[in-house]
Each structure stands twice: as C-alpha cells, then as structure tokens.
Structure 1
C-alpha cells in the first residue's frame, strides 16, 4: 500500500495478507524463516479470505444461518443442525488450506525442529477479518488436535488425531464442551457424569453453551462416579459425533442459541444421553487437559481480536478516504485523522501483543522445560487487551462510516455484533486477571519474567536526541515499568489483596507490555532508517501510559505525518 488514497472503499476483494504491511514486517522480524517458507501459502490464504470467505460470511449472516431440524417425519427428535452449503464449503476449505493441520506435517516444522503453529495463528488472524463464525470452529479444532497430540494416550491419539489434521478437505472439526448453566467459567463445578463401560464411557448431563455444535469430535469435561466433587475430580473425554457403525452418538441438540452476533456459528444446548466417549485424561488431570485446550484457544482469541480490529480499521480508513462531506474527503478533517491514527496505533499494539503469545507458544513447544510461565502470562494479557480494543475499534468504525455503518449492507454492522463475543470467549477479563495473579503472586515467577522482558526493551531504547520525544517516551515507559514493579512487589507481600486489584493489575501490565513491544518494533525499524513505527510507538506511550492532555499537549508528530503513517510509508 503506497498511498493513503489506495485504501479501497471496502476491504472485500483485497488480499488480506499482501496488503497487511504491519503483519508482514512483524513476521519478518520475529519469524523470518517461517515467513520465507510459507509466504506463498499465506498470500493465497489472504486472497481467499478477502473474497470467497467474506462473501460467504455476509450471505450466511444475513440470509442463511444454521437452523435446527428438531424432528423427523415420524416425530422423533433428531436434533439435526442444517448448514447452508457455502458455509460448509468454506469451513472445509479452511482446513484444506492448513489452518489446523499444517503443524502436523513435515512442512509445519519450525526452525528449531519442533512444530510451529505461527502460520495457523496467522491464518486465524485473517479468518476473523472475514468470518469469525469460521474462525471459532477452526480455533476449537486446533485446540482439540493440540490436546490429542500432546496429552492423549497413544492409542486414542493414533485413532482420532489424523482425522482432525488431514488437509484434503475432509477433516473433522472440533468442539470444547465445558460450560454448564450453573457453572459458567467455573468449570470445576461440572455435574456431567462419566459412567465407565467396558468399551469406554457414557456421558450424562447438559452442556449449556457449545459452539461449533455440529463438530465431529469434541472434548468434554465430566466427573466419573465416586470422583472428588471439585475440579480435581474431573476427567476429560473425547466425544465423536457418530459411533463406529455410522449412527449418531447419543446426544441431542435442545435448541440453538439466539445470539447478538456470530450468527453463522451453530451454538447449542446439548443433552448428553449416555453419549459414547473415550478418556483423554482421568482425574485429577482432566481439568488440566481442558485448560490446555482453552490456552490454545485464548491465543486464537487474541489474534482473532486483532484481526477484527484490523478489518474495522481498514473499513474506516477506506470509507474516510472515499466519502466526501462538506466538499472534502472526510479523512482530511483533523478529528477523523485523530480517530484513524488512534485506531491504527491500537491495532499495531494489539497485533504485537497477540503475536507475542504466538511466538511464546512455539517457543514453549520447542522447549517444554521452560515451565510455560511466560506463555500463560502473555496469553492472559493479550487475550484481555486485544478483545477490549477490538470492541472499541468496531464501534469506532461504525461511527466513522455513520448511518450506513449501522446497516446490514455494511460489514461494520456485522463486525460490531461479532466483536462482542471475543471479550467472553475463553474467559472474560476477570478470569484472565485470576490467571495473572496465579502467575505473579503465587508460587510461580511470572512477575520476574515480565519485568525482565520489558526491562530489556527499555534498555534498548534509542538514546539519540534526534528522535522526537525520545526522553519523554523513555521516562514514561520507565515510570510504567516501575509502577508494575511496585504493584507486583505489593501483591507478593499481600497476596490476599490480589482478588480486589487483579483487574487493575491486568490493565497496567497489558498496557505496559503493549507499549514496550511497540517500542521494540520501533527500534528495529529505526535501524532500517524508517521512523514511522517510532511515531506510532511514541504516540501510544504518551497517550496510553502518559495520559497526555489531548488539548494542551503539543501536536503529536504522527499527526504531521498522517498520510505516511496511515499508508505504512517510510518516514525519514
């Protein structure tokens, strides 16, 4: 993209990879060998997402969402879910293109020799820009495959995993059945019962919120007879949609949920009426296995939130470029420019934060002995902050487009409805705060890892006074790091205060890490002779961490370079 005027009126029809300069540069910096190997695959995926998938998403959302065919001709309950053929074809195509299966092939091995999931997460980032109702089942399929690969007994892994990771268009999709009406996020309160049989288990209970309800294989939490009544008593079970003889398994759809968004996604209440299942992890490891699936899904939630944010920004920038009001394109008006720069600034921060969790995931696969504290910590921060900003960005896109942005003809309306779910999926903010507290105020040492990571970035900030506001940015960032250090030290001494302050700590640490990662990117690009990212990073540090007065502060340098910043052009 060489000029701000090149933003299309709508992103549909564009290549969601080739036009994403920020993403490509991030991958060049952090995953160069992976990008070099898979750039063609990602480009082809971006072209498909930006055209065929996006068209299907609008059609399914507006005219052909999934329906429940509850009874057969004889009045027997079937609970059969009907999808339109375009949705099914696009769903299958995502797997054929490697959105789940690539890490399980020879091509999916990273430079360390361990499987790399970076390409799959990058595909998830693009999927959500067109259809989060496809991205969600891809996410859960990836999560179930990851658990089978890493935690399931060898016979179960060998029997079921190949059908989930095949790339011939016939892969089985996955689901994660943990939520029950009385428990919500408290998965340990599961009342579904697992009855042991000679050939496996039979599950009895109700799962209250099952996304991708038409999945071929699902992980479910259940409690074997006689097991402990808390989370330690849970097992994790794999439930196929059909039995070995081809007949449907013994569970039925009560009803499909009527939701604000993700209308293309079948979300259901399921009655488990003695459903056949095999044991993936017995108590006390069942909850751990399900949490491994949720951890994987949280990374997808973060990249998906960043993807939603990117689509909202591109639609807003395109509309502002082509819409004339009062004699000028509205992107010429200073208040609109400020909105666009803020959306773009937050987009780049969110993308950096989300992909930090992606790279931490691959690093943990390459070295499982590192304990995974950084992976868990950065995932909690990324999941929280990217979701919050995605909701803000999608609302802002509707506002910039105006009345048209509120209508079903514009993708901004669907984005706004769909984005509301990313704050809830895989645990809302308070759950992420509790996860954070376990890592920084308990027996683990996530606080020290965090301080070391941001401290290294702070130490590498440029010392040249030729950069705008370099001393101010360094002082603000150093102050934020010290604020984090003081808060973490306080909670180490007073862990009982954590539940009250966890949400505030989550915000402080997420903002500080996002700012630090932007500065790290800026330093790298300064070495290339490009100041553009520095303008973005310094704006973020001053506005988010420094809370600069928007009226009395000096004009931000990014405003003066608006066209170049918006267009990802180099700034000398």
Structure 2
C-alpha cells in the first residue's frame, strides 16, 4: 500500500452525470425555436434521454475505450481464406448501437427529422466522434439511393432502421444496415472527375464489374458503399454491397487501414476492386456527381454539427474546470482574464450551434417543398462547413489551455478532442473546396443570394455592427475582380453575418453584443480572450456552464 503523506485538495470533479442536451442552453433553445409544436414534447424528451446517456460516466468510458483500442484489420482467416474484416472493440459497437437506436441514421421518416437528428448528432458526438462517420454516411446515403427507386425500396428501410445489426451477411436477413462511401482516389483527392476506377456493364441490367482503388474508404465493415467509377457513359454512382444476395463475399479487398492523426476509433481503409467486384448503378451513367451530391451536402452539414459538438464539449470542460479550480486566492472562473477567455469560447460555440440547427431546420423545410430554404442551403451549407470547422481547432486548443497541464494529459479527454478537431475541415472537401463552392452557388443559383439576403434581413436594424458588416459583404460580392483569390474571406463573412443575424434575433443580449462587437465590429484580437471588457461576460460564462449539481 502507498503511504499517505498529505491531503490533496483543489481537484476538479469529473464532468459526469449531467444532461448534455438539457444543460446546454444554446442547443436546447435553438432546438425549441425551430421544432414544430406537434412534435416538440416527444422530441425534447427523446433528446433529454440521449443527453443524460451522453453525460454519464459509462458513456465517457466507452468513448475512451473505443479510442484506446483502435480497429484491427484481418485480411485472412486461420485457413488462409480472404475475409477482409475489421475487428472493433466492444465499446465501438455499444456507441453505434445507441446512436442507431436514437435515430441518428434517420432524418427521413418523422416530423422535424433533420432538426431532431442534427440535435441528437450534436449531443452524442460529444461522447466520441469516430463512430459518427458511419452514422453520418448511412443517413446521407438515403437521398442518393432514391435516384434508383428499386434499390431505395430494399435499402432505405434498413438504413433508417433503429436496430444496429453488425456482421457481414446478406441484407435480406438483416434488421438494419450501415452505408459507407468511396470517392477519393490516389491521383485525384477532391477532384473526383479524375477517378480511374472502371465500371464494365454486365448482362444483368444495372449490374457492373468494378476495377480500381479507393484511397480513403471509411467504415469498411459497412453493409454497402456508394462509390464513383468511370462507366462507358462517364463518371457514374454505384452501390457496392459487401455481401452478395447469395451469401458470398463481394470482392472488396482491404489493403490496409490508415494510421491517422485522430478519429482513431474509426477505420479508414484503402480498398481494391479486382474486376470481379459487383455493384449496381445508381442513377444514370455519366451523372455520378449529380447523383451523389445530396449525400455530400448532408455529410457537409454533419461536418458542421460534428465540429459544433467538439466545440461545445471543449467549452463545457473548460468552464467546468474553471468553476471548480482555485488559484491566486479565488476560483479561476472569477478571474477577469480567464472569464474573458471562457466567454469568448462560449460565444464561438453558441454561434456554431445556432447556425447548425438553423440549417437543419432548413433541410426539413426544403424537404417539404420550400424553394427559399433550398436556395439558402445551397450557399449556407458550404459557408457554414468552411467556417465552423475552421474555428474548431483553435477553440479546442484554447479550451485545453484553460485546464493547464491537466489538459495536456490523455486522461482529461482534451487531447482526443484536439486530435479530432481538424478532421471535419478536411472531410467532404477542405476549406478551398468549400469556399469555391460558395462562389459556384452565387454564380449558378440566382436564388441563393436572394435567400441569404432574406435570411439576414430579418435582423436588419437590430445591431449597427451587423448592418455595417452586411453592407461591406454586399460590396465585396459586387467586386468580381480576383474574386476566386478572396473566396475564403467571402465564405467567412457569409458565415459570420449569418451567425450574427441569428444571435441578434435569438440569443441573450450579452451574447449577441459580444459577438457583434468582436466578430463583426473589429473589437477583437487574434487570440481568444480579447473581448471588449464588459460586466456581462459573467452571464455569458454562466450560460455556458454545464451544471451537474456541484
């Protein structure tokens, strides 16, 4: 036994046994203002249950285990047969089971489906981000498959099921299925039109044999994958099942798993199609990008939601630590400079949450036939994906620093958040791709700018700094000379003005004022913690504090 030498004090209790949804004012209020009255009670109760599960000590341990024991590739069984299987720790399966049961793969079969799913995704991703990859891709595969109604009839009920049914078996005998995606190749990256994977049509209508290599294929134990390949008519979308209807394994050769910076619980693989790999065409030949684009749009919004989740968890940990830790004669949270840092982080997190849920609600409205909301999504999704994912890493770094040396230790959980934080900025198109997509929306979709102006116009006159930023943005949009070189700046300003308009309309005055003064009014430094001095910052920090009874 270790001898006891002295009493240890001033240790922060773990942030557990709290409601990740209900005790996040920014999230719960944003959800309440967008959800329809008819489903509000049921949806809120469902999210509170998920929030309590996400805030439990058990969930925290599952997240830690899933990352401590990453997936392992088995190319062959004991008899030398090729199996191409990836083994995951039981914690991974527990996390996925809860995510699927919570409806995080289904935005399509219930009222306010996208809003409810986005809020749930933001809650549950705070437990562990890696397993969110197959959750996101499964949800996003549905609109792409609808381009081929016969396939959608078979697969959509399985992809939207609330039953997690792992294992490689024919889908006809499964209660639920997961979907992945394979677009990126060695030579092209984001430039998918340079893909060299070939698709040769076979005798059976709609069936092709694929030959090629995919450089990044996430969650290789999924039941099927949407992939792009060059058919005789051009780049085409295909559904590639892991197991064929007769029970045999499709030729899906997992060459290796990527050794990644973060996202370590999730397997990202290089896969080979050997000419006997069978897939079914989705949509018309030569229309591959158009077919899969809705999947890309859905996963891009999930990138924003995933980053908002990481930001919120980082802020929650930082505020919780500062509220319990004492230094220099008082609590850290009461020190003016620390309070400024925490308030700045909280404002950034709330702005990300508000914009993410606004766009999720727009998805529901667009699905119901609103052209206005569809146009808004066309410009706002790439702008939000660009800016929110870009802000995630510096926020997590600063939140980690609030814990001092404790934040640099793995047991705190902050290093895992930090390693995870750059991913969403890269996945589904890096920053330049998103910024250029904003330009493309402005040039090709006349309704996009009108929808954007209508949205931010709802806050016109409420804050002079927001009005000035809007005017400056319009001036920038009118100057097309060298616009591509300024695309990042344009995407940033669009996202900031959108966030400002939402906070001015809905957030407490102290939050909106600090956001507009710093992000739009120029009273802000290069680092967090440089907000204009204000007595209201205490209220901003308290709003962000996850109260767990201590």
- TM-score of the superposed pair, with normalisation by structure 1: 0.86
The CA deviation at 1:370 is: 4.7
Distance of 2:72 and 2:457 partners within structure 1: 52
Counterpart CA distance in 2 for 1:309 and 1:549 is 20
Deviation readout 1:130-149 (Å, 9 max, x if unpaired): 1111111100010112322x
Aligned to 2:281, the other structure's residue is in SS state strand
Quick one: distance in 1 between partners of 2:292 and 2:54? 30
Q: Shift in Å at residue 36 of structure 1?
A: 2.3
1:500 aligns with 2:500: no
> Is 1:517 matched with 2:524?
no
**Secondary structure in 2 matching 1:103:** coil
**Is the contact made by 2:344 and 2:530 (CA closer than 8 Å) also made in structure 1?**
no
CA distance in structure 2 between the aligned counterparts of 1:393 and 1:132, rounded to whole angstroms: 17
In structure 2, which of residues 408, 431, 434 is the aligned counterpart of residue 432 of structure 1?
Answer: 434
Judge conservation of contact 2:307–2:424 (CA < 8 Å) in 1.
yes
Task: Give the aligned partner of residue 401 of structure 1.
Answer: 403
Provide the residue aligned with 1:535 in structure 2.
510
Query: 1:244 maps to what in 2?
Result: 245
Q: Deviations over 1:420-458 (max 9, x none)?
A: 101111111111111100111345332232222212211
1:405–1:248 Cα change, 3 Å: same
RMSD between aligned alpha carbons? Answer: 2.1
CA distance in 2 between counterparts of 1:392 and 1:297 reads 22
Who is 2:193 aligned against? 188
Residue 490 of structure 1: aligned partner: 479
CA contact (8 A) 1:218 1:240 kept: yes
Q: 1:558 aligns with which of 526, 536, 539?
A: 536
Compare the two structures and name the one with the higher helix fraction.
1
- Equivalence map 1:97-112=2 (5 Å): 97-101=102-106, 103-104=108-109, 108-110=110-112
- Whether 1:337 aligns to 2:339 is yes
Report the alpha carbon displacement of residue 353 of structure 1 after superposing the two structures with TM.
1.2
Q: Assess if the C-alpha contact under 8 Å between 2:199 and 2:211 holds in 1.
A: yes
Contact 1:451–1:485, Cα closer than 8 Å, also in 2: no
Q: Which runs of 5+ in 1 are unaligned?
A: 1-7, 111-115, 228-232, 462-473, 523-532
Q: Which residue of the other structure, out of 33, 57, 60, is the alignment partner of 1:54?
A: 60
- Please say which of residues 447-456 and 153-162 is displaced more in the overlay: 447-456
Pairwise mapping of residues 67-78 of structure 1 onto structure 2 (< 5 A)?
67-78=72-83
**Matching residue of 2:140:** 143
Cα distance 1:74–1:389, how it changes in 2: closer, same or farther (>3 A)?
A: same
1:31 aligns with 2:35: yes
TM-score by length of 2: 0.90
Q: Distance in 1 between matches of 2:477 and 2:500?
A: 18
**How much has 1:157 moved relative to structure 2?**
1.0
SS of the residue corresponding to residue 363 of structure 2 reads: helix
Give the whole-Å Cα distance in 1 for the aligned partners of 2:249 and 2:431: 37
- Residue 498 of structure 1: CA displacement? 2.5
Q: 1:561 to 1:101 in 2, by over 3 A?
A: closer
Q: Can you list the C-alpha shifts for 1:389-433, whole angstroms capped at 9, x where unaligned?
A: 221221112111111211211111110011110111111111111
3-state SS of the aligned residue for 1:79? Answer: strand
Q: Secondary structure at the match of 2:73?
A: strand
2:26·2:354 contact (CA, 8 Å) conserved in 1? no
